[in-house]
Amino acid sequence: MQFPSWYFPKKLILLFDIFLTFFSLILAYLIRFDFIDFYDLFWVSQYESIIWGVPTLIIVRYLTFLIGKTHKGIIRYLSGEDTLRIFYVVSIGTLLICFISIIRYVFLDGLAILPKSVIIIEYLGTLFFMLTSRFGIKLIFDNQKKTNGKKINILIYGSGKMGIVTKKTLEKDEDSSYNVIGFIDDDLKKEGLLIERKPIIHTYNLNEKIKNLKINAVIIAIKDPDIKNKRRLIELCLKENINVKNVPSLDDWYEGDFSSKQLKNIKIEDLLGRKPIRLLNKNIVEEFKEKTILVSGAAGSIGSEIVRQVVKYQPKKVILLDQSESGLYDLNQELLSKNKNYNLEVVVGDITRKERMTNLFDNLKPEIVFHAAAYKHVPLMEVNPSEAVRTNVGGTKILADLSIKINVEKFIFISTDKAVNPTNVMGASKRISEMYCQSLSKITNTKFITTRFGNVLGSSGSVIPLFRKQLENGGPITVTHKNVTRYFMTIPEACRLVLEAGYMGNGGEIYVFDMGDSLKIIDLAKKMIQLAGLKIEKDIKIKITGLRPGEKMYEELLGDEENTIGTHHPKIMIGKVKPINHDDINKLVEKLISLVKNQENEKIVRNMKSIVPEFISNNSEFSKLDK
């Protein structure tokens, strides 16, 4: 049966419901009187009852349907709420009939409006016919949608409330081409059970069943899945060329619902292979509340996320410092669109301009400084050592010295794992900055804290955006070496750990983050190709280009002479390093910065190597200085 796409007129639905009421009443009489002769039943034995009872019941039903608006619902989208409304309206109508019947029996002529059994049977019949007719029409529409065009067979990962809502939403979404085959769940006890006649499959049994069910896509609709099961599921889907999508977070749903158009492809972040790091210390709010906080490099990937998280802790003011005018403007507009009450001070400035920074510190008087501004691209800094030293070392020194001058409470320096046994100019410049900040903690009340972590997924200029751009251009994806590995974490979790370290730091510490297992870059490239629905080598080729100047095969989080001690946070450790005399490192740093003026790169790098003896250049023109 094929129903039209337009909606049924409401008056027609109301008339149809009245017809169902009348039909139920006739059926009730026939059942009540054992289907005796129709004429004898209506015009002889039950004439008095029918002449008064039938019109009264029809009028009561009409008025209650009208007031209860049972005809206003769109039948093809019948919901549990619509079903309850029909139940309540029909029940109230029956109670009114009973009340009227009692009034007549007690106060008028001693006769009931209708026989009690007829009232009961009519009530059940009306309720049954109204609901089944609607469910029938809804079912026909649902089946009609399924036959229009090719359907995509899907499994929903998550059989809880979110998974069930996802199923219902997709089924009633006219734009959806999804056909829900069943559910996936981590709970072994649910294996084999049914939800709305759809089977639940445990994640361990997917390998054999996913092929038999001819699944085209899997939709993840679970808030906190077991990370190992989720990873196994995604790996299986990639292997079988099955598309994987994510349901948007509940915050993005509109009035408890969402559209199939909101489903997003999974991101490479979902394949990190470990549980995302979360903050444990609730007292962190008090650390930043009503404080003036400066974030240098605020327009960058890390700096901007630190700002986004800090503003949630009700600071007195947040100073956004960067030399990128466009980046600062975009971040400021983003924050103001979310909350116009944020007290933001936008400062366009270069951290190496001492007079500009002095003016900033003297006038705005920050109490906490997050120093994220830096040059970070290894190949570029390898050919521009003077700029690496001028910004990464000189800029850090200026901000650190000014922090002491105005008695800043805490100075949190954002470093990198490339500062450990550096093989490039960028890493060495960050290690020298670490040493300088660490030395200051011994001679001042300002607490200097260093945080050290690896690559951040999706940060500006990192490997993920590069791979995405190469994919968009049709390839090839370039990897420097098939054995290169890196540690990865997401931008939000990296910044959460920076805030946590900033809270717990007492000065002089170098905080090292547990980033899980390192990942092969070539494996990352392969997964990104598969996530894009493409085939390796057939659609997108992978090209090995060779290590770049200064690049390591693998990164380290601790130096050869460093070890760690634990903290209250299981993912944060303190790296134990040798104490550094401030006067000694200050003289060395000032001498290094003085060489920047003449931009004599070889002298600069030789000087860096004298400050950081473990700095051994790799695949670089400066390797000759190590001999």
Q: Which of 222, 194, 375 is nearest to 296 (CA)?
A: 375
Average pLDDT over residues 363-392: 93
What is the chain's Cα-based Rg?
36
Q: Which of 472, 395, 481 is nearest to 432 (CA)?
A: 395
For residues 512 and 453, give the distance between their C-alpha atoms in angstroms, rounded to a whole number. Answer: 6
- Each residue of 464-478: pLDDT tens digit? 778 878 888 887 888
CA atoms within 13 A on the CB side of 284: 22
Predicted confidence band at 425 (pLDDT cuts at 50, 70, 90)? very high
Q: Is the pLDDT of residue 272 over 70?
A: no
For residues 27 and 121, give the distance between their C-alpha atoms in angstroms, rounded to a whole number. Answer: 8
- Each residue of 567-598: pLDDT tens digit? 666 777 777 777 788 999 999 999 999 999 88
- The answer to whether 208 and 182 have CB atoms below 8 angstroms apart is no
Q: Classify residue 352 as exposed, middle or buried by CB count within 10 Å of its CB (0-12, 13-18, 19+).
A: buried
- DSSP lists the bridge partners of residue 317 as 292
Residue 15: how many other CB atoms lie within 10 Å? 13
60-74, 76-90, 393-407, 551-565: least confident range? 551-565
Q: How confident is the model at residue 142, as a pLDDT?
A: 63
| Domains of the chain, first to last | 10-145 (no CATH), 149-266 (3.40.50.720), 288-455+491-517+561-626 (3.40.50.720)
Q: Is the pLDDT of residue 340 over 90?
A: no
Chain-centroid distance of CA 548 in Å reads 34
Q: How confident is the model at residue 400, as a pLDDT?
A: 94
Whether residue 315 has a cis bond before it, omega within 30° of 0: no
- DSSP lists the bridge partners of residue 123 as none
Q: How confident is the model at residue 41, as a pLDDT?
A: 58
Answer positive or negative: Cα dihedral of 320, 322, 323, 324.
negative
Q: Is the pLDDT of residue 411 over 90?
A: yes
117-131, 237-251, 308-322, 329-343: least confident range? 237-251
Predicted confidence band at 23 (pLDDT cuts at 50, 70, 90)? confident
For residues 440 and 450, give the distance between their C-alpha atoms in angstroms, rounded to a whole number. Answer: 12
For residues 324 and 306, give the distance between their C-alpha atoms in angstroms, rounded to a whole number. Answer: 17
Higher pLDDT, 547 or 35: 547
- Each residue of 132-171: pLDDT tens digit? 887 777 777 666 655 455 677 888 887 777 778 777 777 7
Percent pLDDT > 90 in the chain is 22
Higher pLDDT, 178 or 389: 389
Q: How many residues does the chain have?
A: 627
Q: Is the pLDDT of residue 413 over 90?
A: yes
Q: Measured at the alpha carbon of residue 407, what is the angle toward residues 406 and 408, in degrees to the nearest 5?
A: 100
- Each residue of 184-237: pLDDT tens digit? 887 777 877 777 778 888 877 777 777 777 777 888 887 777 777 777 777 777
Predicted confidence band at 361 (pLDDT cuts at 50, 70, 90)? very high
- The answer to whether 193 and 160 have CB atoms below 8 angstroms apart is no
Higher pLDDT, 278 or 345: 345
384-388, 451-455, 590-594, 604-608: least confident range? 451-455
Q: Which of 269, 245, 607 is nearest to 464 (CA)?
A: 269
For residues 367 and 369, give the distance between their C-alpha atoms in angstroms, rounded to a whole number. Answer: 7
- Each residue of 278-303: pLDDT tens digit? 655 566 777 888 899 999 999 988 89
Q: How confident is the model at residue 447, as a pLDDT?
A: 92
Give the chain's mean pLDDT. 80
Q: How confident is the model at residue 625, as a pLDDT?
A: 84
Q: How confident is the model at residue 493, as a pLDDT?
A: 76
Predicted confidence band at 36 (pLDDT cuts at 50, 70, 90)? low
For residues 616 and 378, give the distance between their C-alpha atoms in angstroms, rounded to a whole number. Answer: 14
Q: Is the pLDDT of residue 374 over 70?
A: yes
Predicted confidence band at 521 (pLDDT cuts at 50, 70, 90)? confident
272-286, 316-330, 610-624: least confident range? 272-286
Of 230, 418, 447, 609, which one is the catalytic site residue? 418
Contacts 24+ apart (CB under 8 A), 10-13: 10/71, 10/72, 11/71, 13/71, 13/75
418 is catalytic: yes
With residue 154 as reference, give the H or E element that holds it: strand 152-157
With residue 309 as reference, give the H or E element that holds it: helix 301-310
For residues 76 and 64, give the distance between their C-alpha atoms in angstroms, rounded to a whole number. Answer: 22
Q: How confident is the model at residue 279, as a pLDDT?
A: 57
Residue 208: both structure tokens together: 């054999």
For residues 429 and 551, give the distance between their C-alpha atoms in angstroms, rounded to a whole number. Answer: 15
Higher pLDDT, 374 or 78: 374
Residue 541: how many other CB atoms lie within 10 Å? 13
For residues 433 and 429, give the distance between their C-alpha atoms in angstroms, rounded to a whole number. Answer: 6
- One-letter amino acid for residue 444 of the chain: T
For residues 573 and 58, give the distance between their C-alpha atoms in angstroms, rounded to a whole number. Answer: 77
12-26, 33-47, 108-122, 149-163: least confident range? 33-47
Average pLDDT over residues 540-550: 80
Q: Classify residue 380 as exposed, middle or buried by CB count within 10 Å of its CB (0-12, 13-18, 19+).
A: middle
Q: Is the pLDDT of residue 458 over 80?
A: no
Answer positive or negative: Cα dihedral of 572, 577, 579, 584.
negative
- The answer to whether 25 and 122 have CB atoms below 8 angstroms apart is yes
Predicted confidence band at 6 (pLDDT cuts at 50, 70, 90)? low
Q: How confident is the model at residue 218, as a pLDDT?
A: 82
The torsion angles phi and psi of 375, rounded to 5 degrees, stand at -85, 130
Q: Give, to the nearest 10 degrees, the angle between helix 47-68 and helix 10-32.
A: 150
Q: Classify residue 556 as exposed, middle or buried by CB count within 10 Å of its CB (0-12, 13-18, 19+).
A: middle
Q: Is the pLDDT of residue 46 over 70?
A: no
- What letter does residue 174 receive in the DSSP assignment? T
DSSP symbols for 314-344: --SEEEEEES-HHHHHHHHHHHHHH-TT--E
Higher pLDDT, 425 or 65: 425
Q: Measured at the alpha carbon of residue 327, what is the angle toward residues 322 and 328, in degrees to the nearest 5?
A: 55
Percent pLDDT > 70 in the chain is 80
Q: Which of 108, 140, 123 is nearest to 27 (CA)?
A: 123
For residues 536 and 257, give the distance between their C-alpha atoms in angstroms, rounded to a whole number. Answer: 37
